[in-house]
Amino acid sequence: MRKGMLFLLSIICLMSIWIVRNNEQTKQGTAARETVPHLTAYVSAKEDIGRALLSSYCEQAGCTYEFVRLSTEELVRRVTKEADHPRADVIIGGTWDAHQTLKQRGLSTPFPSDMDQAELQDPDRYWIGYEVERLAIVINTDVWNERFGAAPYPKTLADLTAKRYQDELILPDPNHSGTGATILQAVFDGYGTKAEEVLRQLIERTRLFTANGFAPTSYVASGEAMLGVNFIGDQQSLREKYYPVKSVPLDTYSINAISKLKGRTQQKQANAFMRFVLSADGQAILRKVSFGTPTYAIAKTQPIQQNVGQDIVADYRDYLRRFNQLQDK
């Protein structure tokens, strides 16, 4: 009888051990996958830039990555919406004012940077600039010569409000694009009491507001439009491809930045990634895939220094509201 009991218990024990082992093997498989560091990024720069930086970093750090490309303003909206359950570890690209907004909303967290260029980063190091871009008017010289011959090119945003440019202008939409936001900021910073009138006329002349900062250059380079405004690096990229585009630089600079989000578990990995972006290796990659000026190459950026760290977010919300009111009219 005792033998029978023991036999029965042995059978049950063996079956239990088999089931538990089977279950543990599955768990171990999952745990093994979880130990490989994984970085999730929202990218507001061009897709190639995000992919190049993340893949190069993960190649050497042995991590995996995924990213979603969003326009700057859309990115800010999404991160704000996900505040309670952030889904991305790092934000790559987007103009510094967007990163400043994330800081002010308590969505990002400081980065232990040892970069000494104070004018290219947040004083509290919530975001760090990795490249600097300058706004410029882009002109299709073939279309210009056909229409206006040897007439001088427009040199300022106010020059673009001339009636002869009606429906010739393509601008990025500040509701979606960081480049558009920079232009809007430049209008209000540069024209004081006349700013609203300049903006009203610019809106009137504009044939199309694009959702991306790059798009105005491609419209102008192809000849689909004569004039546009965006960052000079984008214009340079198509000039090198033999498109008839002329850049007229404006006195407005912006910084493209990186930051990391609060409430994520991969803080160490995010720090290491940000260090990589700012390192010689990271900046060399940027030099190949981006047409901005990497921050290590900047000696002095006086125009930026005037703005960085200021509370521009509240002002900007007002600018955007006024833009939308004028556009709706």
Residues that bind other proteins (CB under 8 A): 1, 4-5, 7-8, 11-12, 15, 19, 22, 46-48, 51-52, 55-56, 59, 69-71, 73-74, 143, 173, 176, 208-212, 214-215, 217-219, 221-224, 234, 237, 241-242, 284-285, 288-289
Q: Report d(CA 190, CA 193) in Å as an integer.
A: 9
Nearest approach, Cβ of 218 to other proteins (angstroms)?
Answer: 5
DSSP 224: S
Query: Whole-number minimum distance, CB 47 to other proteins, in Å?
Result: 5
Rounded CA gap, 178 and 289, in Å?
19
Classify burial at 128, counting beta carbons within 10 Å of its beta carbon; exposed 0-12, middle 13-18, buried 19 or more: buried
Handedness of CA 63, 69, 72, 77 (dihedral sign): negative
Closest to other proteins by CB, 15 or 151? 15
Kindly provide the residue ranges of all beta strands, DSSP E only, lying in the chain, ordered along the sequence.
38-43, 64-69, 90-95, 108-109, 128-140, 169-172, 206-210, 227-231, 245-261, 293-294
C-beta of 20: minimal distance to other proteins in Å? 11
CB of 121 to other proteins, least distance (A): 25
Residue 212 or residue 301: which is nearer to other proteins going by CB? 212
The whole-angstrom separation of Cα 128 and Cα 100 is 10
Q: What is the DSSP string of 279-315?
A: SHHHHHHHHHH--SEEGGG-S--HHHHTTTTS--HHH
Coil, helix or strand at residue 253: strand
* Secondary structure letter of residue 153 according to DSSP: P
Shortest CA distance to 159 belongs to which of 234, 236, 229? Answer: 229
Query: Three-state SS across 100-133?
Result: HHHHHCCCEECCCCCCCCHHHECCCCCCEEEEEE
Q: Which is nearer to other proteins, 258 or 308 (CB)?
A: 258
**CB closer to other proteins out of 57 and 96:** 57
> 69 vs 134, which CB is nearer to other proteins?
69
CB-nearer residue toward other proteins: 119 or 173? 173
Cβ 291 to other proteins shortest distance, Å: 9
CB 224 within 8 A of CB 244: no
For other proteins, give the closer residue by CB, 53 or 308.
53
Residue placing its CB nearer to other proteins in the complex, 49 or 120: 49
Provide the minimum distance between the beta carbon of 190 and other proteins in the complex, in angstroms, as a whole number: 26
Which CA distances in Å does 192 have to 155, 299, 320?
18, 30, 16
- In three-state secondary structure terms, 82 is coil
Instruction: Please report how close the Cβ of residue 302 comes to other proteins at its closest, in angstroms.
Output: 29
Q: How far is the CB of 169 from other proteins (least distance, A)?
A: 15
> Smallest distance, Å, CB 308 to other proteins?
27
Of the pair 181, 215, the CB lying nearest other proteins is at 215
